Amino acid sequence: MRPEWFKNAGLNGAATGSAFANTSRRGFLKAGAAATGGLVLGFMLPAGGRLARAAEGKPVVYAPNAFLRVAPDNSVTVTVNRLEFGQGVHTSLPMVIADELDADWAQMRAELAPAGEAYKDPAFGMQITGGSGTIAHSFTQYREIGARARAMLVAAAAEQWKVKPEQCRTAKGMVHGPAGQKATYGLLADAAMKQPVPEAVTLKDAKQFRYIGKPMKRLDARAKSSGRQQFGIDFKPEGAKVAVVAHPPVFGARVAKFDAAKAKAIRGVLDVIEIPVDRGGSGVAVIAEGYWPAKQGRDALDIQWNLDGLAKLDSAAQLAEFTALSKTPGAVARQADTSKLATAAKKISAVYEFPYLAHAPMEPINCTVDLRDDSCTLWVGSQFQTGDQAAAAKTAGLKPEQVTLHTMMAGGGFGRRAVPTSDFVVEAVNIAKAYKAAGHSGPIKMMWSREDDIKGGYYRPSHVHRAEIGLDAQGNVLAWDHVIVGQSIAAGTPFEGFMIQKGVDSTMVEGMGAPYEVPMNLSAHIAKANVPVLWWRSVGSTHTAFVMETLIDEAAHAAKIDPVAYRKKLIDAGHARHHAALDLAVAKSGYGKKVLPKGRAHGVAVHESFGTVVAYVVEASVGKDGAPKLHKVTAAVHCNLAVNPLSIEAQIQGAALMALGTTLPGAAITLKDGVVEQQNFGDYTVARMNDMPQIDVHIVPSNEPPTGLGEPGLPPLAPAFANALFRVTGKRLRKLPFDLASA
């Protein structure tokens, strides 16, 4: 997800660019901490983009926001304005504040922010976790909050000691005076509240960082490793009942009739109610005292479905349709002269196939709702608090300010918890509405099973690519004609008006071409299908990186040039970070020097997504059983300044394993007669611990502003693996998951 998607949609309520470059003193707020005491420092952002222009001349009022709380016991609690679902922001954002605050890391704490105006991403203008944007967008924002808090604590100490602030210094949660005076931040916190918020602060030079750039253990590690961490699926307020839903077998189908007698006969079942579900369909909710009786009740339901007028997708037929369509030019995304294709000395013709993919986070979808006459409270692991709060309000017939959304820890998401339709939040509120209308009261905890999660929709779209490449006798690319066919993520959403330009969905073609200097003619067909689609970790780069990096490798082979040398020849000088990442991966892997065991080969790929370049050099072989085996991965990451190297290592390891999963047999969502055929990890493959190769992660040193890391580690892994397998087998792999038998 890109910042401009929201800004251009008129949804941006915050300034873009450097977080506080032009923020006035009035943009910063002090709020009393009546319950806990101490210093609370927050900020507001001025409006920007279309929203600001539309409201020009009117002051934009934002709700107070406390990002930093210094308590009398010296603990420092940082409010994290994102969702923590494994990526490490619960640690990295407190690190950023702690460094500018000169806090003692042992006293740092973190909590997730509820939905709120001032918690919006400074670039997106919405409260959202996506687009690998947490550190990229909030680095300066959180540094300035820490620096301002430190200045106010120093000012309070100087006033008490009757000295000048510049005579004081700070270290590890204490202010030190010129005559040996010292006071903890906790003792000074109340007095600091009375100090004016400084208009300008000087941020540290990178050489002064105490925490930023150092490997820091995660603040949430102990709670998660001991089982004490509460996730959304664990939360159940007093008196809450559990709801599970029988969803239609085909997307958009409606209940024709149902018999609830057997369900209601199950002990613990309280009610059975028909409700609206996503895509205009309907389902049946079973509400019970707990999950097990609710599930048993659902299993006992007798439902007849109305499938009239619905398209019933068949994956094999869709593939044939997409393949045929790829033979014709689509809407133009990039133009180049391809007339030299006809006379090229060497040619590469390739068709690539990519299936639907489920997000399959370890924690299935869930949302707890307490709906009352004049308020609605949600407890949910949301990547999209702003959108989910607004959708809940609309569904409940309330105003957004009447909806309180508590952000819960989540067990993964990969985009599934950031849905423009807010499908699962709307579903939970609809259950609560129906339950209340039936004369009941109290909170409802809606839970999806693993089967619901995998069959319930919102998938990475399926795609077909067709490429025709002409090379001269020396292997130089003379012309490259490329067509992509697939569903649009943006179609039918609020983002359609600007994400789709002249018939091209920008997410379908991102990652094509650059950084290589090749004359590419690129076009795309937007196909329609009765399958809900959504961004999936690294969005378009999930397929475009595979196509680009295997084709570049194939061109290198045709040119009889080493694939690393060929890439460096084609990567233009304006992409120095690609060169740096590739050089580091090659050097650390021993590529070109290390003698590999018989039957094992190196594969290479490099790709940029979300502002970060990742290069992989892998070692792979084919086992006696004919299955591809990934042995070792050497990663080089150029994400500019590395805030927490430990988190970066973990992100790359996780992304690489998730990417490896896309290559394994069974890693595909398929449909027949409109019904999803997979339902659990027994028939939908994800990578497991025994698939994990050795992964060595190296970071290109830089002090430039940091870029994103949640998604960029995924795209180059599969093509690097495929390129290694070509060197072992001589077969070019044109589809995911891998199928050596048909290659």
**81: closest CA among 33, 46, 52, 42?**
42
What is the arithmetic mean of pLDDT over 439-464? Answer: 97
Residue 200 identity: A
Q: Which residues contact 235 (CB under 8 A, 6 or more apart)?
A: 368, 379, 408, 445
Q: Are strands 600-609 and 612-622 parallel, antiparallel or unpaired?
A: antiparallel
What is the arithmetic mean of pLDDT over 157-177? Answer: 98
First to last CA, the chain: 33
Residue 432 in this model has a pLDDT that exceeds 50: yes
What is the arithmetic mean of pLDDT over 43-72? Answer: 44
Residue 22 in this model has a pLDDT that exceeds 70: no
CA pair distance 456, 668, nearest whole angstrom: 15
In this prediction, residue 3 has a pLDDT band, given cuts at 50, 70 and 90, of low
* Range 631-634 contact pairs with CB under 8 angstroms and sequence separation of 24 or more: 631/600, 631/693, 631/694, 632/589, 632/693, 632/694, 632/695, 632/696, 633/693, 633/694, 633/695, 633/696, 633/717, 633/720, 634/585, 634/588, 634/589, 634/696, 634/698
Greater confidence (31 vs 653) lies with 653
CA pair distance 278, 314, nearest whole angstrom: 21
**453: closest CA among 537, 366, 385?**
366
Which CATH architecture describes the domain 234-309+372-447?
Alpha-Beta Complex (3.90)
Model pLDDT, residue 2: 60
Residue 550 identity: T
Model pLDDT, residue 118: 83
What is the arithmetic mean of pLDDT over 598-620? Answer: 98
| pLDDT, the chain, mean | 91
CA pair distance 523, 529, nearest whole angstrom: 20
- pLDDT tens digits, 503-553: 999 999 999 999 999 999 999 999 999 999 999 999 999 999 999 999 999
Please answer whether residues 736 and 465 qualify as being in contact, where contact means their C-beta atoms are separated by less than 8 angstroms.
Answer: no
- pLDDT tens digits, 604-614: 999 999 999 99
Longest dimension (CA), the chain: 84
Distance from chain centroid for Cα 454: 18
Residue 650 in this model has a pLDDT that exceeds 60: yes
Sign of the Cα torsion 187, 190, 194, 197 reads positive
CA pair distance 485, 70, nearest whole angstrom: 54
672, two tokens: 């027949």
Model pLDDT, residue 193: 86
CA pair distance 182, 131, nearest whole angstrom: 43
pTM of the model: 0.93
Please answer whether residues 428 and 278 qualify as being in contact, where contact means their C-beta atoms are separated by less than 8 angstroms.
Answer: no
Please answer whether residues 65 and 42 qualify as being in contact, where contact means their C-beta atoms are separated by less than 8 angstroms.
Answer: yes
Residue whose tokens read 């004490």:
228
Same fold, 3-225 and 326-356+459-742: yes
Residue 56 in this model has a pLDDT that exceeds 80: no
Model pLDDT, residue 15: 27
H or E element, residue 527? strand 520-527
Q: Are strands 477-487 and 520-527 parallel, antiparallel or unpaired?
A: parallel
SS3 (DSSP) at 571: strand
What is the arithmetic mean of pLDDT over 207-232? Answer: 96
Greater confidence (47 vs 674) lies with 674
Which CATH architecture describes the domain 3-225?
2-Layer Sandwich (3.30)
4, two tokens: 């401009």
Q: Which residues contact 689 (CB under 8 A, 6 or more apart)?
A: none
**147: closest CA among 201, 69, 198?**
201
H or E element, residue 174? strand 174-176
Please answer whether residues 219 and 108 qualify as being in contact, where contact means their C-beta atoms are separated by less than 8 angstroms.
Answer: yes
Residue whose tokens read 């619905």:
310
SS3 (DSSP) at 588: helix
Model pLDDT, residue 39: 64
What is the arithmetic mean of pLDDT over 208-213? Answer: 98
Residue 9 in this model has a pLDDT that exceeds 80: no
Please answer whether residues 424 and 446 qualify as being in contact, where contact means their C-beta atoms are separated by less than 8 angstroms.
Answer: yes
Q: Which residues pair with 39 in a beta bridge?
A: 70
Q: Which residues pair with 274 in a beta bridge?
A: 284
- pLDDT tens digits, 29-48: 443 333 334 566 543 333 33
Please answer whether residues 113 and 81 qualify as being in contact, where contact means their C-beta atoms are separated by less than 8 angstroms.
Answer: yes
CA pair distance 741, 743, nearest whole angstrom: 6
Domain ranges of the chain: 3-225, 234-309+372-447, 326-356+459-742
Greater confidence (10 vs 363) lies with 363
Residue 8 in this model has a pLDDT that exceeds 50: no
**537: closest CA among 734, 388, 719, 357?**
357
CA pair distance 45, 141, nearest whole angstrom: 10
What is the arithmetic mean of pLDDT over 299-304? Answer: 98
472, two tokens: 């001269």
Residue 131 in this model has a pLDDT that exceeds 50: yes
Asked if the 326-356+459-742 domain carries CATH number 3.40.50.970, the reply is no
**95: closest CA among 139, 129, 151, 30?**
139
Q: What angle do CA 552, 557, 561 make, to 5 degrees?
A: 95
**405: closest CA among 375, 379, 384, 431?**
379
| DSSP collapsed to 3 states, 463-526 | EEEEEEEEECCCCCEEEEEEEEEEECCCCCCCCHHHHEECCEEHHHHCCCCCCECCCEEEEEEE
Model pLDDT, residue 12: 37
Model pLDDT, residue 66: 60
Residue 324 CB neighbour total at 10 angstroms: 11
568, two tokens: 């460096």
CA pair distance 359, 363, nearest whole angstrom: 11
Q: Angle of helix 563-570 relative to helix 541-559, nearest 10 degrees?
A: 110
DSSP state of 735: B
Model pLDDT, residue 49: 33
Residue 555 identity: A
- pLDDT tens digits, 453-476: 999 989 999 999 999 999 999 999
363, two tokens: 């924690």
Model pLDDT, residue 197: 85
**84: closest CA among 403, 382, 423, 377?**
382
What is the arithmetic mean of pLDDT over 492-503? Answer: 92
Question: Which range among 6-20, 72-86, 256-270 shows the weakest confidence by mean pLDDT?
Answer: 6-20
Model pLDDT, residue 274: 98
CA pair distance 432, 411, nearest whole angstrom: 24
CA pair distance 525, 318, nearest whole angstrom: 13
Residue 62 in this model has a pLDDT that exceeds 70: no
* Helix, strand, coil content of the chain in percent (nearest 5): 30, 25, 45
